[in-house]
Amino acid sequence: MTQAPSSLPTETDAEPSIATVGDKAGPALPAGLTADDLVEVCRQMILVRAMDERIWMMNRQGKVPIAASCQGHEAAQLGSLLAAQKDGDCFLFPYYRDLALKMAVGLTPRQVMLSFMGKDGEPYSGARQFPLQGADLPRNIIQISNVVAAGLTQSVGYALGCKMLGDDTVTLCYFGDGATSQGETHEAMNFAAIHKLPVVFVCENNKFAISTPQESQMVVSDVAARAEGYGFPGFVIDGLDVIACYEATRQAIEHARNVGPALIEMKVERFMPHTTDDDDRRYRDRDALDEARQYDPVTLFPAQMVDQGIATPAQIDEFRTDAQSQVNDATDFADAAQPPDASTIYDHLYV
Amino acid sequence: MAEMTVIEAVRSALHEEMERDERVFVMGEDVGQRGGVFLATQGFIEDFGPQRVMDTPLAEASIMGIALGAAFRGMRPIPEVQFSDFVWPSVNQLIGEAARSHYGTNGALKVPMTVRIPYGGGIRGGLFHSQNVEALFFHTPGLLVVTPSTPYEAKGLLKSAIRDDNPVIFLEHKKTYRLVRGEVPDEEYTLPIGPADVKRAGSDVTVVSYGLSMHYCLAAAATVADDGISAEVVDLRTLKPLDSETILESVQKTGKLLIVHEDNISGGIGAEVAALAADEAFEYLDAPIARLCGPDVPTMPFAQSLEDAYMPSPESIAAEIRRLAAY
Ligand SMILES: Cc1ncc(C[n+]2csc(CCOP(=O)(O)OP(=O)(O)O)c2C)c(N)n1
Ligand SMILES: [Mg+2]
C-alpha cells in the first residue's frame, strides 16, 4: 500500500525527500525528531489504544452512548500532530475519528472519559455534543460539527482570517475519504488555492465511508490525485507509518506557510466498525480485516523502536501498565462524575 | 439629515464600519469590481482593496463556511448572498454550524458575522428571485434575524449587526432598495437589535408587519383613517428576538390583531405572533387574530397577474383592517 511520495516543493527547497523516510532499515531520524519524541509517540499510542478499547467496552456496558474508534488511524494522527507540535504555530480542525490527536494535544484520560460519558466538565462542549466535539481552544482545536465535510470550508476561512491578520499560523484540516465526495470539500480546496492560503488538507483514507467502499465513492485510487485539479500538490503517504506521516506533514506545513495549500492522503485502516452503533460484519471481509490487523501501528511501531534501540522493552512494558492504570482511574472518575445540571440548557445560546 | 434610499443606507453603514474596524470585510459574488449586483459595495474596492472586498467563486456553501471560519479567528465577515433564493446551498453552514457554534462549544467560540441577504418580491422575480426566507432562520435558535424597512433602520441596524458577536441574518427587502427613501442622521448612530417600532399610533386595530409590507400597512392605515378607523402599525424591525412586549402592549390597547407578511402563511412569523397574542393577551382580544400573508405556494410566480395575487397590497390590507374594525 505504500506509495512513494515525491517531495513537496518549498521556497527553501533543501529538505530531504519524503520518499527516503519511513525506511525501516535504518535508525536515521528525520529532521527535527529526537529519540525522545519517538518514545513519547509510543507512550501516546499505547495510552490511546487502551483508552479506545475501554471506551468501546463502556459503550457495551451502557455508559458511553456513542463512540468512533481511531484504531488503525493512530500513526497518521500522532505522526501528523507531532509535526504540527514541532512547528509550534498550527491550528487544527480535526474530525470525529481523531481521538489520538485530540488526546495527544494534552487532554487527560479523565477529561476524555468525561467527554465520552457526557459528564460535567466535558472539555469540548460542556457535554452538549458528541464526545470531543466543539472546541478545545486552549489546544488550538475547533470541530463544530458532525456534518461530514462542514469543517473544511471553516478551516479555510480560519486560514483566511490568519492571513488577513498577518499571523504565521498554518491550519491543518483532517477528514475521511467519505468527506471528499462532498461539494464543500471541492469548494474549500478551490478557494484555498485561489488565495494561496496556509492550509494543509489531511485525508485519513480508511477506504470506507461507514459501509461504502472507496470504489463506490470515486473511480480514482488516490484522493491526493485531485490536488492537481486545484493547482496544489497532493501526496499519498503510508498512514500506518508514524515517521512518514510526521515528515509529510512537516513538509506540507512548510509548503503551506511559504507557498499555499497542500493535500496529504494518509492510507490508513479502520480496524473497528464505523462506530459503536455499527456492525461491520454486514459488509466487511473478515480475512481482509485480519490481514490489515497484521500492520497494526500500535503493535509494530513500539516493536520497531525497540528493534532500533530507540526504546527499551522495559519502557514499553511500563507504558502498557501505566496506560491501564490511567484508563482505570479515568473510568472510575468519569463514572462517578455528575452530568451537567439541567438548568444550564439555555446557557451560551447567545453571546 | 440627509435623504437617502435603503441601498444607500446599507452602503453607508458598510463603509463606515469597514473604516472603523479593519477586521470587518465583505465577501460574495461580484461584490468587488462590480460593487455587488445591487451596488451595495459600489466603489469599495478602491477604498478598501480586493482582500476586504472579496469576490468569491460562485459557491454559497463555501462563502458561508469560510466566513464562519474567519469569524472563529476573530475577523468580522459580512458575506453577501446575491439573492435570497441562493442561500439554500449555504444553509447548513448557517443553521447547522454558525447558529450552534457558541452553544456547541459551551461559549468558547463567538460568531461575529453578518449575513446580508436581499430578499422578497414584487419585482417580477418569479420563483427564483423573489423568495422570503425568513421563517427558516426565525426558527433557528442561535441566530439573530433583522428585517429593516427604512433607510434609517437599515443603517442603524446594520451597524449594530456588524458589531454584534452573534451570527446575524440581515434581510434587506430588495424592492425597498430604491423605492423607499428617508431621512438618515448625518452623525454616527446605531439602533439596537430587538426593539420593534410603532410606526403609526392607533387605537382600533394593531397591524404587525416588517419589511416592504410594513409600508403597505402604513398606506392602508392612512386609507382607513379616512373612514374613522384608527390602526396602529407595529414594525417588527427585528424578527429574532421578537419584541413581544411592544406587540402585547399594542394588542392590549386595541384588542384586535392583524399580522401582514409576504412570506407564506403556514409556519411563518405571523403564526408565532398570533400564538404570542393568544397565549398572553387572550383576555384583551375582541376579534379572532387575523393573518394576511403570502399563500402557500412556493413563492410569487412570474406573471404579473399571479404575482399580484400573491402579494399583500395596501388595498387588501385596508379591507382586512376594516373587517376587523367592524367585528
Ligand atoms: C453530511 C453527512 N452525511 C452523512 C453523515 C453520516 N455519516 C457519518 S460518518 C459517515 C461516513 C464518513 O466516512 P469518512 O469520511 O470516510 O470518515 P471515516 O468515518 O471513515 O473516518 C457518514 C455517512 C454525516 N455525519 N454527515
Ligand atoms: Mg473513511
Give pLDDT tens digits for A255-291. 999 999 999 999 999 999 999 999 999 999 999 999 9
Q: What is the ipTM of this complex?
A: 0.95
Q: Is the pLDDT of residue A233 over 60?
A: yes
**pLDDT-derived band of residue A30, with 50, 70 and 90 as boundaries?**
confident
Using alpha carbons, select from B140, B131, B59 the residue that is nearest to residue B96.
Answer: B140
Separate counts of helices (H) and strands (E) for chain A: 12, 9
Dihedral of the alpha carbons of A134, A269, A205, A239, in degrees to the nearest 10: 90
Is residue B191 one of the residues assigned to a domain? Answer: no
The predicted structure's pLDDT at residue A29: 81
The arrangement of strands across the sheet holding A170-176 comes to: A134-136, A141-143, A90-93, A170-176, A199-205, A262-267, A234-238
Candidate of A99, A148, A205 to mutate for ligand 1, largest count of ligand atoms within 8 Å of Cβ: A148
Output the pLDDT for position A22.
41
Q: How far is A121 from chain B (nearest CA, A)?
A: 11
Distance in angstroms (rounded) separating the CA atoms of residues A202 and A127: 27
> What pLDDT score was predicted for residue A4?
39
Query: At which of B125, B153, B184 does a domain end?
Result: B184
> What does each C-alpha distance from A331 to A11, A67, A186, A216, A327 come to in angstroms?
48, 15, 41, 39, 6
How many angstroms separate the CA of residue B219 from the nearest CA in chain A? Answer: 37
Name every chain B residue with its beta carbon within 8 A of the beta carbon of A350: 102, 142, 144, 166
Residue of A nearest to B241 (CA): A350
Q: Are residues B101 and B123 in the same domain?
A: yes
Q: Is the model's pLDDT at A24 over the cut of 50?
A: no
Asked if B129 is an active-site residue, the reply is yes
Q: Is residue B85 part of a domain?
A: yes
Residue type, B124: R
Residue ranges making up the domain that contains B264 = 197-325
What is the average pLDDT value for chain A, to the nearest integer? 93
- Output the pTM of the full model: 0.94
Residue B104 with chain A: CB contacts under 8 Å: 125, 128-129, 133-134, 144
CB contact under 8 A, B59 and A190: yes
Residues B55 and B77 in one domain: yes
Does residue B289 have a pLDDT over 90? yes
- State yes or no: pLDDT of A13 exceeds 60: no
Report the C-alpha gap between A145 and A159 in whole angstroms.
18
Nearest CA in chain B to A124: B105
Domains and CATH numbers, chain A: 35-208+221-236+244-337 (3.40.50.970)
The answer to whether residue B261 scores a pLDDT higher than 60 is yes
Structural domain includes residue B189: no
State the average pLDDT for chain B.
98
Residue B67 lies in a domain: yes
| DSSP per-residue string spanning B95-126 | IIIIHHHTGGGTT------EEEEEE--SSS-G
Q: Is the pLDDT of residue A296 over 80?
A: yes
Copy the grid coordinates of residue B96: 447547522
Indicate if the pLDDT at residue B313 is higher than 60: yes
Active site (annotated) includes residue A97? no
Q: Are the beta carbons of B75 and A165 separated by less than 8 Å?
A: yes
* CATH number, residue B49: 3.40.50.970
CB atoms within 10 A of CB B273: 26
Least CB–CB distance from A147: residue in B23, B96, B106: B96
B171 and B223 share one domain: no
Please say if the pLDDT value at position A110 is more than 50: yes
In a domain, B190, yes or no: no
Q: Do the chains contact at A153 and B62, CB–CB below 8 Å?
A: yes
Q: Could you give the percent of chain A with pLDDT greater than 70?
A: 92
Q: Which of B129, B156, B184 is the C-terminal boundary of a domain?
A: B184
* B211 in the same domain as B170: no
Residues B32 and B158 in one domain: yes
pLDDT band (50, 70, 90) for residue A1: very low
What is the pLDDT, as a whole number, of residue A5? 43
From chain A, the residues in CB contact with B59 under 8 A are 183, 187, 190-191
Output the pLDDT for position A27.
52
Check whether residue B177 and residue B201 sit in a common domain.
Answer: no
Catalytic residue among B15, B102, B129, B261: B129
Cβ separation B66–A160 shorter than 8 A: yes
Same-domain check for residues B211 and B316: yes
B249: confidence class by pLDDT, cuts 50, 70, 90:
very high
Query: Would you say residue B44 has pLDDT above 80?
Result: yes
Among B151, B184, B217, identify where a domain stops.
Answer: B184
| Pair (B95, B225) in one structural domain | no
